[in-house]
Chains A and B, each alone.
Chain A
Amino acid sequence: MTRIHDMGGRFGDGPVVSEPEHVKFHADWHPRALAITLACGSLGLWNLDISRHARERLTPKDYGRFSYYEKWMAALADLLVETGAVTRAELEQGTSDGASDLADKRLAAAAVAGVLANGGPATRDSNIAPIFAVGDEVQIRSVPENVMVSGGHTRLPSYAAGATGTIVRLHGAHVLPDSNAHRLGEAPEPLYAVAVKARDLWAHPEHPDDEVILDLWQSYLSAP
């Protein structure tokens, strides 16, 4: 089953409207929403995959009507309550009921540059060896769902499910989002760039030579 965020290939959307490079934000609250989200990430209560999943499990109605940063804010509020950092009562009343025992983890202004510069690499040592090489043909899993958690997070877009592709790059072993988003461990495994012909994805491809390349984990793939 596809979910609302998995929109690659969807029909019905209008034109893409470009905008000048100097436009960074579209409302005064956007930069605050961005900064609050990044600062809360430093508390160490969740990882990147958990935060993505929190946005994806907004109701389809909310996901559809919320702008980008509204999704961020809604997912952040949900995560803060789920991890116990903030209570439902505090959200409802708009003020705090007291200092947090996590306050020592607060991101300090002086630490911002370092945190943003250091990033959070997703590569890991893994005892799972690559079983495919560049040039190999592979079959992409036909059901684009998390196989560990029903309705869980996955990075396999539905438009590519079941298609046959060719390995064009091995990226090394990366944290598996399907596991990491549910606190089931990082479970690193080989990650590949897989090229799929547009004609194998769409009934009406624009050009016979066009292709889409996706980054897919080894467990999403099998030999055809």
Chain B
Amino acid sequence: MGGKGGLGLWTIDGGAAHDRVMPHDHSDHDHPHSLLPPDPALRVKALETILTQKGLIDPAALDEIIDTYENKIGPKNGAHVVARAWSDPDFKAALLENADPVLAEMGYYGRQGEHMVVVENTESVHNVIVCTLCSCYPWPLLGIPPGWYKSDAYRARAVREPRKVLAEFGVTLHKEQAVRVWDSTAEVRYLVLPKRPEGTDDMDEAALTALVTRDSMIGCGLAARP
């Protein structure tokens, strides 16, 4: 293992060129994580084993957390909010004015969604959400972030060339529409209220919910047409 004694600074490359000796970053030596196995699955397993043995985590609690984000909390929550805003002008006004009490009343408060702001897409403005410094995301409304939201490419590019990024999602904006990119640099989490699609005047809230995609609430998609 790298990190043990003087020779620990050198790691034998176990790959095809196993006769080569690879230099190991000296600074890694100070990071305790380098003592864990390099394979990520084994790293997680080792941490879980140690922490369970020490009584610091309860595997049943881990199962409960996973079940929450796999099965209970996801974009359906946000879709419910959007469909209601499309259907009820008073609700929409209250949501845009001060989202927190409105969302709390619907039961959509919680970790990584303590301070919510909802921003509305209109004929003149299209909103996009990003977190360039990490991957902040409104968990109680959308669940855990998708892989692309956490990717270097999205974090790097969404602020500088949002229109090119949107094009990669198949979204083309009108020339008159300005793009507002919200970089989530604090504990405020943002949700986009997408434009209600045309041809949905007769649809009720439940039917509208099905049109609200996750990506439309991040601003990288539009609501589906019926």
Point out the residues of chain B lying under 8 angstroms from A219, CB to CB: none
Cα A123 to Cα B158 in complex, Å, equals 28
Partner of A109, one of B4, B60, B109, B151: B60
A122 touches B44 (CB 8 A): no
Contact with B along A38-61 (1 / 0, CB 8 A): 111001000010001001001101
A206 touches B179 (CB 8 A): yes
Cα A27 to Cα B147 in complex, Å, equals 12
Q: Closest approach, in angstroms, between the C-beta of B96 and any C-beta of chain A?
A: 12
A125 proximal to B (CB < 8 A): no
Cα A92 to Cα B60 in complex, Å, equals 25
Q: Closest approach, in angstroms, between the C-beta of A216 and any C-beta of chain B?
A: 7
Cα A196 to Cα B132 in complex, Å, equals 15
Given contacts A100-B54, A118-B110, contact A21 B160 (CB under 8 A): no
B152 touches A86 (CB 8 A): no
A112 touches B61 (CB 8 A): yes
A106 touches B133 (CB 8 A): no
Contact with A along B174-188 (1 / 0, CB 8 A): 000011111111111
Given contacts A18-B169, A21-B214, A24-B70, contact A157 B49 (CB under 8 A): no
A36 touches B57 (CB 8 A): yes
Point out the residues of chain A lying under 8 angstroms from B25, CB to CB: 59, 61
B143 touches A29 (CB 8 A): no
A136 proximal to B (CB < 8 A): no
Contact with A along B1-19 (1 / 0, CB 8 A): 1001000000000000000
B225 proximal to A (CB < 8 A): no
B155 touches A103 (CB 8 A): no
Chosen A-B contacts, 10 in total, with CB atoms closer than 8 Å, are A5-B134, A23-B146, A24-B144, A35-B62, A36-B47, A36-B48, A77-B36, A94-B49, A123-B114, A209-B179
Extra pairs beyond A91-B36, A102-B55 (10, CB < 8 Å)? A18-B146, A32-B48, A40-B51, A62-B28, A80-B51, A113-B64, A119-B109, A159-B160, A171-B186, A207-B178
7 nearest A-B residue pairs (beta carbon): A8-B132, A103-B55, A96-B53, A215-B186, A209-B178, A122-B187, A35-B62
